[in-house]
Structure 1
Amino acid sequence: MNAARPEVHPPAPWTFPQASEHTLDNGLQVALYPLPGQHVTSTRLNLPVPLAAEPRDREGVMTMVSRTMDEGTASHSADEMAELFEGNGIALHAGVTQHGIWLDLEATTRNVETGFGLALECLTQPAFPEQEVNRHRLQRISQIDHDLADPGYRGTLEFVRTFFTPQSRLSRPTGGTRESLADLTREDCARFHADWVRPGDAFVVVAGDFDEQTMLAALNRTLGGWHSQTSAPTLDVASDQPADDRNRVVFVDRPGSVQTEIHLGWLGPARENGTQWAPYPVLSYAVGGSPHARIDRVLREEKGYTYGMRGSFRPRSDFGQFIVAGSVRADSTPDSLRLLGEIFDGVDGGLDAEELREGVDFLSMTAPARYATADAVADEAASLHFVGLDTSFITDYLAAMRSLTLEDVNSAWQQWSSQPRTIVLVGDADKYADQVGALGIGDLTVV
């Protein structure tokens, strides 16, 4: 007997998990995401310290503070702290973005209060041992040398130098340079920490399988005891701005390179709200966000010039960018740039209905899988908070995406596609710079 074929229905619209919002006894803002079955609890703590708060001659100090806060405290040595984290199955990481310092804490729900206590100790009692600070400083300088040997990183470095004004902090590496790190000391770290690491505007996200009241009590017993008696310094710095002369081609010469790294981009939209943002993930997917997007369809499948190249809209605080990055076979450099121009001209003529449907289906239907873990939920919530948004932004843009028309996505692309383009190439300039210059796509400089 043959069983009846089941009827397959489209998935129901998905919404981002809802948080309960709380204020700890010390005023610290908390968002709790109870996620049954997620027994490893993910915590994110945002410290909104602008990267531009670093002294110009000590850029990288914020990165050093984030890397050394757990390398010994007033109560425990670096080895003792490592044993406490390892013995309790707790992972603590910290890093820096344009918007501030973040802490990432992973622990089983049973041990998460211990993790909160250890994180609080790192936040409030860091010793910044000279030996540990110096070790991380030298590691960072060594990392710079290693990064500069990577054509992708070298292209990114030259791109931000070209795209942003010299006054913009974004025009320089987040982790500092050899020069700014050369004389950095533990006193610099301690001073920056005392000035900027404080609970005033901090924000905590906790996601996992837990009872909300129990978790809230644990947070109050630990991070709720974090206080500061002083205010952060007044900060008056230039905002990050695109350079007026960013419409250029910069060729970073690497003699003998068998590939050319391409970084190409222009000004794009900021994320204002979910409805406004909805067309841009779809455009990203169709133009350069998947192996069968327009860029790879031409440069990889038809021409065999690249193993893969990606392009997408990337939002920042006050504006965004459309960025294309990837490597091509060296002898295809001029033709790859010509073809990229033709691809963008083709998008100016509009996506087709199939591209719109594929982009909307993929992005909306895979959202549950993208946010299936506590780690992903906490990470998204904390990242959005840094830029003044909450997770309703995700729900809103996914809902708006499902009703997008071709006119919506095509007009969104055309709003930005005529912006001045910054192009950075890392490869054999002696062989290919003249051919690139002959394309007439911008003033050419060889570095």
Structure 2
Amino acid sequence: MPTATRWTLDNGLTVLAYDVPGQYVLSVRLAVPALPSQEPQEREGVLGILAHTFDEGTEEHSAEDFADLLERSGAALGSSSSEHGVIFDLDLPRTRWDEGMTLFGECLRHPAFPDDEVARAVRRRLADIEQEKVDPRSRASREFASVFYTPDSRVSRPGGGSAASVRTITAQDVREFYRRHIGPVGSTLVVAGDLSAGPAGEPAVDVLATAERIFGAWAAQPDPVVAPQQPQRAADATKIVLLDRPGSVQSELYVGCLGPDHDVEGGWAAYQVLGFVLGGAPQARLDAVLREEKGYTYGVRAGFVPRSKDGIFLSSGSVRSEVTVDALRLLLEILANARDGFTEKELRSGADFMRMTAPSRFATADDLASEAAGLALEGRDTGWSQQLLDDLGRLTTTDLDSAYERVPVGEWTIVVVGDAQVYREGVEALGAGPVEVRPA
């Protein structure tokens, strides 16, 4: 992994520069520790609306004028958010560095959040929520979170807000959240790409000077930076919830239990390989039986999702309705039997895949900047990624076995979306937990 050059501005903004020769489209990420758990519960989703409208006009330019300026500069803006914060994206040609960064700074430091643009974003989010309700996988994911975590855990509720909370969001709510939580303190600006002087006399990209010019006078946000909320698993989470959709010809399975976070004892590398071996590839254990041998599914996946504290181990996939019981039985058996241990061949296939594909995964400035920004929100840098790759090369089957022993296999939260009357009795007979039927 490349090593970053690091600076800290007087206002608290951290600046990281990665020189990636040959990458003439520069990727810029601003990672801000503004958290969904900081949203007022009656306005949940406001952070998502903010992230989707920060570039819809500024104090100096209307939404249409700003869009024209972006297009002329060849710059592209975007955003993403997680429980650790929000990341604002900019990709632009090296030749338009000053122009594009000026626009990036303008929409981040002086966003307008026009009433009509916020209202449009709210309508779009409400439409997305309706779509999520009818999509089996999205519906299963939302139900799983609400069953798995305690009601006061923010992750038990939709990250983008519910229809009830989103419907109440106004432009003033977005402006107020921005004023209180978006600023330089605790934030990290990442720049990746070819930053060196060019062979034809092009000057080097002066990342620090530009950061000082664009963000040096950015005032601090009034509210202090806080750590992400530590979600708690519900005491009664070991259960099976059948979301009933009469007439459905397939069932969506969503099975999970507690898992580790990135700071787990023994390191994260073993869990990356475990996810690959169990359900991260076509030759993984779950697919080998449920897809290749039985033909029940187009694919079942499994993996570990870290959170700020602990995490979850998840397996999910769609199966034909009439084989729901047998598919669920086999899935649980495969995950339970993995306690018997993993083979050297499985270890090598997983670890080698992770290590040998890393150069392609991080070959572009875009991927490198996104990796660095995401890690910055967790208080890490790309040295952690390098250590992870090194650890993958030292793993043994004993490491895999020990890591999987820490996973509470059997304490499952299970959600099935489909025609509950077809398989309710069979699912109850599996004895994997109490069964509840709820309308989908």
The TM-score range, normalised by the shorter chain, is over 0.9
Quick one: distance in 1 between partners of 2:66 and 2:44? 27
The 8 Å contact of residues 146 and 157 in structure 2, kept in 1 or not, is answered as yes
How far off its partner does 1:249 sit? 0.5
What is aligned with 1:186?
171
What is aligned with 2:213?
221
What is aligned with 1:137?
122
Report Cα offsets for 1:288-335 as digits up to 9, x if no partner.
Answer: 110000000000000000001110111111111111111111111100
What is aligned with 2:36?
51
Report Cα offsets for 1:110-148 as digits up to 9, x if no partner.
Answer: 212222221221122222211111111111101110111
Matched residue SS, 1:366: helix
How far off its partner does 1:92 sit? 0.6
Quick one: distance in 2 between partners of 1:171 and 1:86? 39
After TM superposition, the structure 1 stretch with the greater mean CA deviation from structure 2, 284-293 or 400-409, is: 400-409
Matched ranges for 1:91-102 at <5 A: 91-102=76-87
What is aligned with 1:366?
357
Matched ranges for 1:268-417 at <5 A: 268-272=259-263, 276-417=267-408
Gapped regions of structure 2 (runs ≥ 5):
197-203
Gapped regions of structure 1 (runs ≥ 5):
1-15
Closer, same or farther: CA 273–344 of 1 in aligned 2, 3 Å:
closer
Quick one: distance in 2 between partners of 1:94 and 1:381? 15
Closer, same or farther: CA 234–220 of 1 in aligned 2, 3 Å:
closer
Matched residue SS, 2:88: strand
What is aligned with 2:201?
none
- Normalising by structure 2, we get a TM-score of 0.94
Closer, same or farther: CA 266–274 of 1 in aligned 2, 3 Å:
closer
What is aligned with 1:4?
none
Closer, same or farther: CA 172–444 of 1 in aligned 2, 3 Å:
same
Letter in 2 for 1:129: P
How far off its partner does 1:389 sit? 1.6
- Normalising by structure 1, we get a TM-score of 0.93
What is aligned with 1:17?
2
How far off its partner does 1:237 sit? 9.6
The alignment-based identity, stated in percent, is: 44
What is aligned with 1:440?
431
Quick one: distance in 1 between partners of 2:112 and 2:186? 23
Quick one: distance in 2 between partners of 1:273 and 1:156? 24
How far off its partner does 1:238 sit? 6.3
Quick one: distance in 1 between partners of 2:82 and 2:228? 17
What is aligned with 1:3?
none
Closer, same or farther: CA 307–234 of 1 in aligned 2, 3 Å:
closer
Quick one: distance in 1 between partners of 2:111 and 2:276? 44
How far off its partner does 1:25 sit? 4.6
After TM superposition, the structure 1 stretch with the greater mean CA deviation from structure 2, 369-378 or 289-298, is: 369-378
What is aligned with 1:38?
23
The 8 Å contact of residues 246 and 420 in structure 2, kept in 1 or not, is answered as yes
Matched residue SS, 2:78: strand
The 8 Å contact of residues 267 and 419 in structure 1, kept in 2 or not, is answered as no
Letter in 1 for 2:104: A
After TM superposition, the structure 1 stretch with the greater mean CA deviation from structure 2, 109-118 or 253-262, is: 109-118
Q: When the two structures are aligned, how many residues end up with a matched partner? A: 431
- The CA RMSD over aligned residues, in Å, is 1.7
Letter in 2 for 1:367: A
Matched residue SS, 1:37: coil
1:63 aligns with 2:48: yes
Closer, same or farther: CA 315–104 of 1 in aligned 2, 3 Å:
same
Quick one: distance in 1 between partners of 2:231 and 2:60? 40
How far off its partner does 1:231 sit? 2.4
Matched residue SS, 2:411: coil
Letter in 1 for 2:213: R
1:149 aligns with 2:140: no
How far off its partner does 1:193 sit? 0.9
After TM superposition, the structure 1 stretch with the greater mean CA deviation from structure 2, 421-430 or 92-101, is: 92-101
The 8 Å contact of residues 274 and 397 in structure 1, kept in 2 or not, is answered as no
